[in-house]
């Protein structure tokens, strides 16, 4: 097959939560902040209306905490691949360096106001502390168990962490840790809460496990636990509500249970089968919020739960077209819907100003305005996507307009019954003769060949040098063509049942096997790769469509994706039922290792690096550098792709484009150490628009040992002819010392009769 699936997914930013997996949730006194999949962060002041934001890398975000300050807040989120991000306002996030291996997750983070210390825990017993969430120090947890949750107890002034194998740790300073409890390997403790009213800890986990402790040292199931166990579901989180005097715990398959004392538990109806992973109580609003896989629930009492969903369009409108211009994404759709975004993550509804209620099918930016077109010859214009003017009376047609492009100083809009209209300003339009009666769907300007190309149903394809005179061409297909773009060196058009055709001149076209039978609706080019939107939430990406190599992305949504736009850093994709996806920005991570360790001088040493690309896109113009340590000689450099060269003492590699979702992309260097001692090898990787540079470099130390001299007698140690073989250097040294001592002794005893 020419299509293979990437192991990363796009971020679904509308509607929310949609396909997002939400983890932990925090209430800071004025708003909720929830962490999620694909770098998703969701915020809400009321628990009903939620705003999605993204850190633009496709990491899973797990834990969240803050320093409790209303005047100088500091929020900290931990996540996959050793990620820690911080924010002073909960909106703008900064990546921090933790030194944790890219393969290890940080699942929870806690703050101690008494110690002014953050502590985060994760895979393989990883435990870090930091006074400022910027500089992190690794601590010895005393265990290799996965640590899933950590909290600070103001009453006992201690951290408590829980995890796999039922392990429970405590620390009074965040530095020195003690194991207080362990259980079977199958038990994973995931949720933990301190109840200051009842003066007890409660931990929950797999198979409905409930453990309690009044000091953090001694742990056991409640004596009168009922039912026992309360459930066979895995419990992910637990919270305490002082107002209602109850615990609420959530888990797999939509499981929710409540208890006044952690002993007697009541099973509640959640009306969902989704896995619930976080829950928090907000005493100000008198509200619980539970988070989970594609799920947000709210409840006033922990008993009655309601699903929460937010849609920026407020009417689940199909979004049919999108464009980028004037530093703004604009998407249009049914019922005159218009929504805008400065970054592809946070969107606002502008429909009230769109001046129409008819479907808007396409939009283009042509300085200085956006132009959107739709049914009944509708044309509306806007300089910023916010304020719109209806130009329909000047559109010169009442036909449905399906597509629009801007190029060579004019707009070209196309529609049903072979309709083509042109305008220099988007306001005054002229009807042109297209020489076809086909329904036309999309248009593009090819500046290299100075030609407009329009496509449509039954493989319809027409071209024009000026937008006035049109010529019918043969596309080579009878399928409906839905989108067209001029890419790097070719025009690419896409259509129904996976149809892809290409041309270098707009006149002669060739079919390409895209490896799918899904309907393709739009195609865009970002300077490196083509992006194609398809049915069922599928997005295809290719560096060069002529080589039949496509990457298929999926699982961010199950809705049909109808249009895409590029803003120089990321793609925004829109589709049915108000679906909006964001591709995120490039993020490369590098890890390094050396072999062998230790190594003898004058022996080959290999410094190997693995590069991961968590982006949903190919990452282009990737460079890799390695500065030779002192006292080594360069032997060779081997990249998985691209070329390497040595200049002075630096090895530089041009790696080109690294495939989206790449987990192991290797570059290795062979060197030969010439002197004993310790050397440090460091490599770095770079790409354009890198959003997170904290994981772009890594180092590895090598111990260089002195090689034993290879001393041999003239006959090469051939014992058959009386040779003595190789002499050990240490024996030789002892022999020389003995001879010197003998010489000195004899000289002192008989200076005139020295015998040796």
pLDDT, tens only, 17-46:
988 899 999 999 999 999 998 899 999 999
The span from the CA of 412 to the CA of 401, in Å, is 11
Residue 724 pLDDT more than 50? no
Are the beta carbons of 422 and 410 closer than 8 angstroms?
yes
Question: Quick one: pLDDT band at residue 710, thresholds 50, 70, 90?
Answer: low
pLDDT tens-digit readout, 531-547: 999 999 999 999 999 88
Residue 555 pLDDT more than 80? no
pLDDT at 747: 62
Are the beta carbons of 495 and 482 closer than 8 angstroms?
yes
pLDDT, mean of residues 473-489: 96
pTM over 0.85: yes
Task: Give residue 244's Cα distance to chain centre.
Answer: 39
Nearest Cα to 343, choosing from 522, 533, 93, 521? 93
Strand (E) or helix (H) holding 389: strand 389-390
The tokens for 544 are 């060069």
pLDDT, mean of residues 322-338: 98
pLDDT tens-digit readout, 85-104: 999 999 999 999 999 987 79
| Residue, of 8 and 654, whose pLDDT is higher | 654
Nearest Cα to 523, choosing from 449, 614, 455, 450? 455
With a pLDDT cut of 70, the percent of the chain lying above it is: 93
Mean pLDDT of the chain: 92
Question: Quick one: pLDDT band at residue 746, thresholds 50, 70, 90?
Answer: low
The span from the CA of 246 to the CA of 253, in Å, is 22
Nearest Cα to 13, choosing from 220, 291, 312? 312
Residue 462 pLDDT more than 80? yes
pLDDT at 709: 61
The span from the CA of 287 to the CA of 290, in Å, is 10
pLDDT at 83: 94
pLDDT tens-digit readout, 595-653: 999 999 999 999 999 999 888 889 999 999 999 999 999 999 999 999 999 999 999 99
* Residue where the block lists tokens 């560096």: 543
pLDDT at 102: 75
pLDDT, mean of residues 217-228: 96
pLDDT, mean of residues 267-277: 97
Are the beta carbons of 231 and 257 closer than 8 angstroms?
yes
pLDDT, mean of residues 66-75: 96
pLDDT, mean of residues 478-498: 97
- Contacts of residue 209, Cβ cutoff 8 Å, sequence gap at least 6: 166, 187, 189, 203, 221, 229, 235
pLDDT at 667: 96
Residue 241: half-sphere exposure toward Cβ, Cα within 13 Å = 26
* Residue 478, helix vs strand vs coil: coil
């Amino acid at each position: 097959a020419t299509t293979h699936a990437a192991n990363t997914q796009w971020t679904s930013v509308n509607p929310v939560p949609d396909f997002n997996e939400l983890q932990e949730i925090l209430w800071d006194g004025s708003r909720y902040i929830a962490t999620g999949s694909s770098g998703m962060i969701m915020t809400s002041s009321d628990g009903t209306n939620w705003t999605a934001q993204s850190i633009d890398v496709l990491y899973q975000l797990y834990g969240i905490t803050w320093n409790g300050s209303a005047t100088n807040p500091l929020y900290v989120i931990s996540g996959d691949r050793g990620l820690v991000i911080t924010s002073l306002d909960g909106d703008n996030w900064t990546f921090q360096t933790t030194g944790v291996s890219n393969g290890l997750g940080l699942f929870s983070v806690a703050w101690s106001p008494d110690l002014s210390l953050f502590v985060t825990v994760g895979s393989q017993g990883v435990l870090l502390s930091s006074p400022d969430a910027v500089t992190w120090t690794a601590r010895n947890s005393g265990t290799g168990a996965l640590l899933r949750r950590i909290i600070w107890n103001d009453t006992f002034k201690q951290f408590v962490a829980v995890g796999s194998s039922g392990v429970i740790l405590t620390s009074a300073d965040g530095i020195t840790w003690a194991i207080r409890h362990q259980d079977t390997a199958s038990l994973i403790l995931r949720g933990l809460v301190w109840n200051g009213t009842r003066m007890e800890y409660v931990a929950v986990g797999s198979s409905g496990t409930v453990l309690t402790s009044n000091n953090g040292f001694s742990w056991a199931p409640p004596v009168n636990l009922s039912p026992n166990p309360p459930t066979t579901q895995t419990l992910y989180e637990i919270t305490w509500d002082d107002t209602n005097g109850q615990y609420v715990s959530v888990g797999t398959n939509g499981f929710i249970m409540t208890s006044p004392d952690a002993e007697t538990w009541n099973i509640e109806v959640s009306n969902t089968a989704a896995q619930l992973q976080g829950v928090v109580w907000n005493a100000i609003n008198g509200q619980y919020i539970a988070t989970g896989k594609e799920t947000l629930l709210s409840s006033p009492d922990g008993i009655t739960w309601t699903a929460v969903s937010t849609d920026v369009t407020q009417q689940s409108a199909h979004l049919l077209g999108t464009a980028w211009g004037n530093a703004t994404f604009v998407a249009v759709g049914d019922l005159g819907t218009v929504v805008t975004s400065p970054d592809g993550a946070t969107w606002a509804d502008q429909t009230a100003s769109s001046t129409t209620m008819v479907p808007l099918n396409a939009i283009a930016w042509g300085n200085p305005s956006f132009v959107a077109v739709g049914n009944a010859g509708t044309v509306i214009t806007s300089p910023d996507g916010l304020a719109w003017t209806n130009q329909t009376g000047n559109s010169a047609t009442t036909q449905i307009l399906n597509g629009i492009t801007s190029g060579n100083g004019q707009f070209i809009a196309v529609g049903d019954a072979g309709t083509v209209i042109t305008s220099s300003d988007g306001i005054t339009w002229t009807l042109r003769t297209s020489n076809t009666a086909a329904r036309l769907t999309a248009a593009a300007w090819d500046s290299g060949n100075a030609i407009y190309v329009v496509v449509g149903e039954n493989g319809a394809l027409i071209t024009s040098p000026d937008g006035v005179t049109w010529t019918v061409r043969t596309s080579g297909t009878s399928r409906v063509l839905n989108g067209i773009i001029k890419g790097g060196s070719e025009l690419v058009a896409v259509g129904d049942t996976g149809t892809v055709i290409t041309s270098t001149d707009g006149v002669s076209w060739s079919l390409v096997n895209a490896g799918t039978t899904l309907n393709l609706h739009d195609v865009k080019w970002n300077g490196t790769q083509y992006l194609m939107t398809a049915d069922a939430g599928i997005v295809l990406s290719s560096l060069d469509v002529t080589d039949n190599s496509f990457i298929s992305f999926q699982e961010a949504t199950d809705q049909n994706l109808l249009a895409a736009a590029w803003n120089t850093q990321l793609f925004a994709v829109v589709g049915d039922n108000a679906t909006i996806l964001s591709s995120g920005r490039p993020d490369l991570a590098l890890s390094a290792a050396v072999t062998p360790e230790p190594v003898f001088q004058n022996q080959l040493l290999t410094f190997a690096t693995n590069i991961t690309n968590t982006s949903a896109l190919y990452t282009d113009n990737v460079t890799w550098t390695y500065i030779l340590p002192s006292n080594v000689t360069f032997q060779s450099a081997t990249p998985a792709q691209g070329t390497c060269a040595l200049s002075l003492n630096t090895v530089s590699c041009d790696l080109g484009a690294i495939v989206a979702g790449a987990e192991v992309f290797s570059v290795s260097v062979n060197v030969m150490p010439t002197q004993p001692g310790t050397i440090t090898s460091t490599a770095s990787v770079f790409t354009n628009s890198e959003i997170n540079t904290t994981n772009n470099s890594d180092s590895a130390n090598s111990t260089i040992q002195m090689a034993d001299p290879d001393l041999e007698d003239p006959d090469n140690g051939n014992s058959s002819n009386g040779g003595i073989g190789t002499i050990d250097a240490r024996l030789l040294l002892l022999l020389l010392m003995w001879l010197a001592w003998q010489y000195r002794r004899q000289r002192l005893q008989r200076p005139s009769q020295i015998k040796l």
